[in-house]
Amino acid sequence: MTTAAAPLAYTPEVAAATSDLRRRLARVIPDVEWPVHAPYVAAIRRLARERGAVILAHNYQTPEIFHGVADYVGDSLGLARQAAACDARVIVQCGVHFMAETSKILAPDKTVLIPDLEAGCSLAASITGDDVRLLRERYPGVPVVTYVNTSAEVKAESDVCCTSANAVEVVESLGSDRVIFLPDEYLGRYVAGRTGVELVLWRGHCEVHERFTAEEIRAMRRFDPALHVLAHPECPPEVLAEADYVGSTSGMIDEVGRSGARRVVLITECSMSDNVAAAHPEVDFVRPCNLCPHMKRITLPKVLRSLETMTHEVTVDPEVARRARRAVERMLEVGRGSGR
């Protein structure tokens, strides 16, 4: 069996097997890099078939993973739905740890693997189950909505989860004048501005989106007044105020095709621009690049090793999973939008 530790050879057979993909990704992966990626793409595809595995990749994964080896791609909610619906024995989660936990919660009988256990999330790390319990004591009877970017323990203490696309619908579905909304403060402010509900917020932030500034966008517009600016609602409010469109990653992808704009900037994790650019060769993407260090822990060699060794398996305590599943399933029932 091939080991991911040693570089794989770019043979004529590998070149032929990946030629269609190479043409499709020529715009976003330089020629000099393709001989490095292609052998892993071919090996992962082959081994995934042998293992009966399905590979789920988030929109923030690099193009060689997103386009090269993923069976399903999308945002947090889309991947959660795929995990629940697929009939594969094994799920390899190319994303961060809370996504793998969510897949395990929704598919408890499947083996869920994550190629790197250190692929975390600043939002998920910003709050614990104890924090939620203390908030419930402080605000008795107030329902708790938690962003899907949280640990299973936090989900288990919640009434319902949400994503960036269905957060407004989820909050309004509760019929309450006040809601505890956790943990993303900026997403919470965005939702509060679109509902008549008082939101109790937590000061959690995404380390990627909080680094964007309004001045960056104004500077880009001074250079190119026709630039179409799309921003994720995890960005600070002053950034959202400068955008032409605000929405989840899937919403942003849809907007690129719908808008007809020829120059676009996506104010989010920068691998997403590469992934969308491959599908929209007619669009010129400006790339102010803020990388997610956690998403970038997932690499082709690690995906291959994960399949070879069946590591790292993600488990969730059965009682925690039972309670968290209730909150996640309520999320899936509210609206049909896409998530982060």
Residues in contact with 66: Cβ distance below 8 Å, sequence separation at least 6, in sequence order: 57, 59, 73, 271, 275
Q: What stretch of H or E contains 198? A: strand 198-201
pLDDT at residue 296 is higher than 70 = yes
CATH topology of domain 12-119+295-309: Rossmann fold (3.40.50)
Confidence of residue 224 (pLDDT cuts 50, 70, 90): very high
Please tell me whether the overall predicted TM-score, pTM, comes out greater than 0.85 for this model. Answer: yes
Question: What pLDDT was estimated at residue 2?
Answer: 46
Note the pLDDT of residue 298: 98
pLDDT score for 340: 57
pLDDT digits (tens, 9 = 90+) for 264-291: 999 999 999 999 999 899 999 998 878 9
Would you say residue 80 has pLDDT above 90?
no
pLDDT band at 336 (very low <50, low <70, confident <90, very high): low
Domain-by-domain residue ranges, the chain? Answer: 12-119+295-309, 123-206+317-333, 209-286
Alpha-carbon distance 321 to 315, whole Å?
9
- Which two three-digit tokens encode residue 238? 């002053």
Q: Confirm whether 12-119+295-309 and 123-206+317-333 share one CATH topology.
A: yes
- Three-state DSSP class for residue 88: coil
Q: What is the pLDDT of residue 4?
A: 45
The tally of CA atoms less than 13 A away on the side-chain side of residue 212 is 37
Residue 35: predicted pLDDT: 97
State the CB neighbour count (10 A cutoff) for residue 213: 15
Taking only the tens place, the pLDDT of each residue in 246-262 is 999 999 999 999 999 99
The answer, yes or no, to whether residue 338 has pLDDT greater than 50, is no
Listed residue (138, 137, 135) closest to 146, CA to CA: 135
pLDDT exceeds cutoff 60 at 150: yes
Neighbours of 332 (CB within 10 A): 17
Q: What percent of the chain has pLDDT over 90?
A: 91
52: tokens are: 């009966």
- Residue 42 confidence (pLDDT): 97
Sign of CA dihedral 218, 220, 225, 226: negative
- pLDDT tens per residue, range 5-45: 578 999 999 999 999 999 999 989 999 999 999 999 999 99
Please give the CATH number for the structural domain made up of 209-286. 3.40.50.10800
Q: How confident is the model at residue 1 (pLDDT cuts 50, 70, 90)?
A: very low
In this structure, how many other beta carbons lie within 10 angstroms of the beta carbon of residue 2?
Answer: 15
Architecture of the domain defined by 123-206+317-333: 3-Layer(aba) Sandwich (3.40)
pLDDT at 7: 82
